[in-house]
Homo-oligomer: A and B are copies of this chain.
Amino acid sequence: MSFQLPSYNSPDFTSQSLVEAPAATLVAVLDNGLAPDNFHATSNHPEYVKVTDGRWLLAPESRMDGVIVVDGDVLVVKEPRSILKGEQVVVGRSDNGEEGILVHVDGFMQQTTTESDKFAFRTRGTRETPFSRSYDELYELLCHERQHGYIAWVLGPAAAFDRDSRAAMQGLIEKGFCHALLAGNALATHDLEAALYGTGLGQDIYNQKLHAHGHYNHLDVLNKVRRVGSIAQAIKELEITDGIMYACEQQKIPYVLAGSIRDDGPLFEVIGDSYQAQDAMRVHARKATTVITIATQLHSIAFGNMTPSYKVMANGQVRPVYFYIVDITEFSADKLANRGSAQAQAILTNGQDFIVNLWNNLKG
């Protein structure tokens, strides 16, 4: 059975309360990066704003904690730091239309019986939750998205520490299951170290042995790649023929490497400024239809914040954006939910096994 996108239930704009709702109030920004009092902040749900001609406009390319700038017929969701003096910003914090703002939380809800037992076991997701169907659905979803969607991967450095997971990730990229890669300096550096030395931070990515003076491998790969000037050039000159960065370069998959205070090097592609990095990441968050984050709490939450739970397609159709967090701890999944991405589905396991599982089921 192949994957079917669920249909979207629009709000009922003929309901009396929405018909009678006022247009949203707009207030001009007084200074760059400073919002007016009572500004409306977006959630990751679909949000509609009533404009003066009575229409309800859906915010496309939304995000969590953004500000809605109204520019004629167009709603632009911006980070508060990016709003400009003079822009017209939606104000109001009610979300049922009272102030011309409607937050629509159940656009993709399926008809389910809402009865719940007074007493039940296993109401919380943990490592003991069964993930068989999560995997099966994900296989189908990825096959669909490969052609019809935009799959963004957010990878922690550990993905490159293991031979099999690194090879599996390479395979997934080469087979078209990755449209964008979001990561940090460490992932790229460890991946290139694996290509050149067979190690990650000096540890053999297959047999776990610590190579003698292995910590130099990490530093040498950074120095060598910086010398030739770019990852792309390093792949040529250093004759790199495998790995995650290799696959991205060969397949022309865009990647964003965001800098962090933990970085050595860094590689020249890394965006040192955190807010420029956010902007570069959001380019992909706007396009994403499926997001998979693996073993990286910081990047998961960062990307989760900027990814809406829905996407307006070119034909106007509204579809869900799928968000999977793969992590070995309940805490990481809970923290993502606690930062607002409650719709994210958690798969609690070691990212190595997860990537290998995907590859084994999708390579065929």
Interface residues of A, Cβ cutoff 8 Å to B: 31, 33-35, 39, 41, 43-45, 65, 79-81, 93, 95, 103, 105, 115, 117-135, 157-158, 161-165, 200-208, 210, 212-216, 218-219, 222-223, 226-227, 258-266, 272-278, 281, 295, 298-299, 301-302, 305, 328-331, 334-335, 337-340, 342, 348-350, 352-354, 356-357, 360
Q: Are A95 and B118 in contact (CB under 8 A)?
A: yes
Q: Are B352 and A131 in contact (CB under 8 A)?
A: yes
Closest B residue by C-beta to A306:
B261
Q: Which residues of B contact A33 (CB under 8 A)?
A: 226
- Residues of B close to A340: CB separation below 8 A: 119-121, 215
Give the complex CA separation of A350 and B276 in angstroms. 34
Residues of chain B lying within 8 A (CB to CB) of residue A131: 162, 350, 352
Q: Are B275 and A274 in contact (CB under 8 A)?
A: no
Task: Out of B262, B301, B335, name the residue touching A302 (CB < 8 Å).
Answer: B262
Q: Which residues of chain B are within 8 angstroms of A158 by Cβ–Cβ distance?
A: 127-128
Asked whether A200 lies within 8 Å of B130 as measured between CB atoms, the reply is yes
Give complex CA distance A164, B272 in Å: 36
Q: Give the docked Cα–Cα distance between A273 and B39 (Å).
A: 28
Known: A93-B213, A261-B277. A219 touches B41 (CB 8 A): yes
Interfacial chain B residues near A161, Cβ < 8 Å: 128-130
Query: B266–A275 contact, CB under 8 A?
Result: yes
Contacts of A261 in B (CB 8 A): 258, 260, 274, 277-278, 281, 298-299, 302
Q: Is the CB of B81 within 8 A of A265?
A: yes
Distance of A164 Cα from B265 Cα, bound (Å): 40
Does B41 contact A133, Cβ atoms closer than 8 Å?
A: no
Q: Give complex CA distance A324, B148 in Å.
A: 43
Name the B residues within 8 Å of A127 (CB-CB).
Answer: 158, 295, 328, 331, 350
Most buried by B among A208, A262, A357: A262
Most chain B Cβ neighbours within 10 Å, of A81, A134, A165, A274: A274
Contact B122 A201 (CB under 8 A): yes
A122 pairs with B338, CB closer than 8 A: yes
Known: A133-B208, A215-B340, A274-B261. A203 touches B163 (CB 8 A): no
- Which of B65, B123, B132, B226 makes the CB contact (< 8 A) with A337? B123
Inter-chain contact B130/A208, CB cutoff 8 Å: yes
Find out whether the CB atom of A337 lies under 8 angstroms from the CB atom of B124: yes
User: Is B163's CB under 8 angstroms from A119's CB?
Assistant: no
- Known contacts A123-B338, A349-B328, A354-B353; is A213 also within 8 Å of B117 by CB? yes
Q: Which of B126, B222, B259 meets A274, CB within 8 Å?
A: B259
CB-CB < 8 A to A31: which residues of B? 227
26 chain-A/chain-B pairs, Cβ below 8 angstroms: A35-B223, A41-B215, A41-B216, A43-B118, A65-B219, A65-B264, A93-B213, A105-B119, A120-B210, A121-B339, A123-B342, A127-B328, A128-B157, A129-B161, A129-B208, A132-B205, A133-B163, A258-B261, A260-B261, A261-B278, A262-B302, A273-B273, A329-B329, A349-B349, A349-B350, A353-B354
C-alpha spacing A46/B359, complex, angstroms: 43
Question: Could you tell me the distance in whole angstroms from the C-beta of A47 to the nearest C-beta in chain B?
Answer: 10
On whether the beta carbons of A260 and B260 are closer than 8 Å, the reply is: yes
Please give, as numbers and ranges, the residues of chain B lying within 8 Å of A203 by CB-CB distance.
121-122, 129-130
Question: Do B218 and A121 have beta carbons less than 8 Å apart?
Answer: yes
